[in-house]
Amino acid sequence: MIRWVSIKNWKAFEDGDPLTFSEGLNLFVGSNGSGKTTLLEGICLGLTGACSIQDFEELIRDQSREASIEIFFKRGGEEYIVRRAFGAHRKSAELMEVSTKKRFSTWNAVNDRVLEILGVDATFFNRLIYMSEGEVQKCLSSPPQKALAGQLRTLFGLASIDLVAVVAEKTSKEIKRQIENSSKQLRFLRDVPEQESGEVTRLEGEISTLRADQKTSLAAAEAIKSRVQTLEKTEQTLTHIVEGLSWYTEWTKEKGTTALPGEPSPEDVRLEIGTLRSRSAELEGSLSVLTSEKGSITADLSRLNGVRELLTATTGPERKAVPCPVCKRPIDEALARSLFEEIDTSASVLKDRMSQVETQMTELAENLKRTREDLGRLVQFSDRMGHLLEQLPSAEPSSGIQFRERLKGIQAEKLSANESLIKASVEVSGAREKIAAKERDLAAIVEANKRVLLKRDLEAKTVGGYRASLLLECVTEVLEDLRRSRQNLNMEDIYGNIANLWNRFRPEAQWTVEFDTDGNFALKARGKKIRYAHLSGGEKTVLLVLARAVLSKTIADIDFLLIDEPLEHLDVRNRRSLLNFLRGLASQRVIPQIIVTTFDETLTRHFRVASDVNLVFLGQQKPVFRA
């Protein structure tokens, strides 16, 4: 059941002020363009993600901002809020279950979840729960006894069966036309003699054998080609490894590193990396020790400077005694001069040491930088070598010499494989030429037998056409049986419920609902049958509403209906009767909530004080509610 709806920046709605709904009959009254149809279309779009307006994104009032639809509804004791927003190039949606706070946040996910909650699909909702103005007009203007049957036939899927039957009939006519054309051509080919097929069979056999040989040769060539590609990849990998090890040899000579006997191996590179890491850690430790010593020297010099500043007062013009900060004994000028000499001596020694430490730190920092650079270069080289070794198809050699030997073997094997590939390619080319020659011979024979083959083809098509024609006749009969069977499916219960509701609307007799001999809808009471065509405009509309109410309740147990302009083309008496009847359906909870739009403001005046009618006037600056 719908509680409130907010539509913003779409068609007739601009500000998004919420419209409140209640149980019972909800009447939305307004003139043309006030937003009556927009409201119902917005509900359809908000709940199902679709409506009868295919290009609804183009009906945004202000194209510079998005339009939005928000609906609060209740189903099975749970409350839900669905929000949708859309613009010219994007659209979004969100559904929140109020009690659990569970959210669905994509357009299709919200569509699926809302329809799952309602227990219907989008087509059922837009065809049955929402009774648009166009559908009412179509039912009233088309042949009445067929309009309701056609509506139910669509809802029960009979329209698709009729469509298949039409396609089958059209196909049958086309097949019969083809049979007639084939028969005409066969009359001109009746005297064409049959040709010997032995030569064709022989050539086809030879071509088949040649193709088999070609396939074998081609497979062999592909295998050799694949092997060559593998060897080329291995050759390239080994070349990079040998070049890398040569670089490492030159690098160790340039750095003055003591190399192991023989050519280097990847293991030698890993050992050298370990040595450099140890050297780097040792240099970092030494640099850390010197840094600490430099800090200590700096602190000692700072303390000596502090003492010097303290003693300065004893040697100035005033020459006043200064108490010793340790023993509190006055320090005179003579003692101060003695202490000055000691301080200068100690400071000189500390500064010399500071200079030595800074020199050593500079040297260590440069050595550490070079060591780290060497380490980084070797680690990068080692990673590259490891990657190359992983690409080798078998166990890796252990030294540069073995890598070179393996590279030579791969190169020799590749040369041999290339020679085999050339030989296999020649065999494939020869087989291809033989096949082409045989196919030319075969084409010449086929061309000679062209009329014979055409005759056989036409005969086969004619026979096949007769078979297809018979099959389609059977299909047509089966479809007709299926249509009749599905049309009668559950109709008795549904039309019994419609009759019960009709008896409330027309209680002067005990009405029943049945089909006449043509399968059309009819009412019957007191032995008298009334066809749908003979009902008044109001009665036709009521029957259409009843059918929707029963189907909604029976098939999906829906608790609300949306009806757009049902009063149009009805006289005042029938308008009042229909509104009172809809009010009764809602009050008796056949459909607990019925939402109706109408242009007739005068007819709704007596509902202004009704407690079971929610009356809303649209088209004003703000909607006016009367309940």
For residue 16, the domain's CATH number is 3.40.50.300
Residue 220 lies in a domain: no
Torsion of CA 223, 224, 228, 230, to 10 degrees: 30
Q: Could you say which DSSP state residue 399 is in?
A: S
Using CA atoms, how far apart are residues 413 and 407, in angstroms rounded to an integer? Answer: 10
- Report, as an integer, the average pLDDT of 222-247: 84
Please compute, for residue 47, the number of CA atoms within 13 A of its CA located in the half-sphere on the CB side: 30
Residue 559 domain flag: yes
E-state strands within 268-401: 322-323, 330-331
Residue where a domain stops, chosen among 397, 426, 461? 397
User: Does 610 map to a domain?
Assistant: yes
Q: What is the mean pLDDT of residues 353-378?
A: 90
d(CA 386, CA 27): 80
Backbone angles phi, psi at 462, to 5 degrees: -65, -45
Cα dihedral across residues 367, 371, 377, 381: positive or negative: positive
Banded model confidence at residue 144, pLDDT cuts 50, 70, 90: very low
Which residue in this structure is represented by tokens 């307004």?
A: 30
Reduce the DSSP state of residue 598 to 3 states and report it.
Answer: strand
Where does a domain end: 362, 397, 432?
397
Q: Which residues contact 378 (CB under 8 A, 6 or more apart)?
A: 269, 272, 273, 276
Taking the model in full, what pTM does it have?
Answer: 0.47
Q: Identify the domain boundary among 397, 425, 443.
A: 397
DSSP state of 325: T
Domain interval for residue 590: 2-141+547-626
Query: Is residue 620 assigned to a domain?
Result: yes
Closest CA to 489 of 210, 218, 155: 155
**Residue 251 counted as domain residue:** no
pLDDT mean across residues, the chain: 80
> DSSP per residue over 202-255, as a string?
HHHHHHHHHHHHHHHHHHHHHHHHHHHHHHHHHHHHHHHHHHHHHHHHHHHHHH
Residue 495 in any domain: the answer is no
Range in 141-145, 368-372, 472-476, 593-597 the model is least confident about: 141-145
Least confident among 52-61, 361-370, 389-398, 568-577 = 389-398
Give me the percent of the chain exceeding a pLDDT of 90. 19
Give the whole-number percent of the chain exceeding pLDDT 70: 82
Q: Which residues, in sequence order, are CB contacts of 466 under 8 Å at separation 6+?
A: 179
Residue 602 sits at the vertex; the CA angle it makes with 601 and 603, to the nearest 5 degrees, is: 95
At 510-560, the pLDDT tens digits run 888 775 554 456 788 877 888 777 777 667 777 777 777 777 777 767 889
Which range has the worst mean pLDDT, 148-157, 181-190, 380-389?
148-157
Q: How sure is the predictor about 142, in pLDDT bands with cuts at 50, 70 and 90?
A: very low
* pLDDT score for 340: 80
The DSSP secondary structure of 101-130, one letter per residue, reads: --EE-SHHHHHHHHHHHHTS-HHHIIIIIE
Q: Name the token pair of 350.
A: 């500390």
Q: What is the pLDDT of residues 453-466, one digit of tens each?
A: 777 777 777 777 77
| Closest C-alpha to 505, from 479, 531, 544 | 544
Strands 613-617 and 624-626: antiparallel
Q: How far apart are CA 601 and CA 461, in angstroms?
A: 69
Tokens 């359809």 -> residue: 44
Terminal Cα distance for the chain, rounded: 18
Strand order in the sheet with 91-97: 19-20, 2-8, 67-75, 78-86, 91-97, 103-104
| 480 band by pLDDT with thresholds 50, 70 and 90 | low
Banded pLDDT at 321 (limits 50, 70, 90): low
CB-based contacts of 422, cutoff 8 Å, min separation 6 = none
Mean pLDDT to the nearest integer, 580-607? 85
Indicate whether 625 pLDDT > 60. no
Q: Residue 594 pLDDT more than 90?
A: yes
Q: Is residue 519 part of a domain?
A: no
- Please count the structural domains in the chain: 2
Which tens digit of pLDDT belongs to each residue from 180-219?
887 777 777 766 666 556 777 887 788 888 888 888 888 8
Give the integer Cα–Cα distance in Å for 461 and 466. 9
Give the CATH number, domain containing residue 350. 1.10.287.510
What is the per-residue DSSP string for 262-290? SS--HHHHHHHHHHHHHHHHHHHHHHHHH
Query: Is the predicted pLDDT of residue 14 greater than 60, yes or no?
Result: yes
Alpha-carbon distance of 54 to 52, in angstroms, equals 6
Q: Are 114 and 82 in contact (CB under 8 A)?
A: yes
Contact 131, 548 (CB under 8 A): yes
* pLDDT band (50, 70, 90) for residue 43: very high
How many CB atoms sit inside 10 A of residue 300's CB? 16
Instruction: Evaluate whether residue 87 is within a structural domain.
Output: yes
Helix (H) or strand (E) holding 624, with range, is strand 624-626
3-state DSSP call for residue 186?
A: helix
Segment 567-578, tens digit of pLDDT: 877 778 878 888
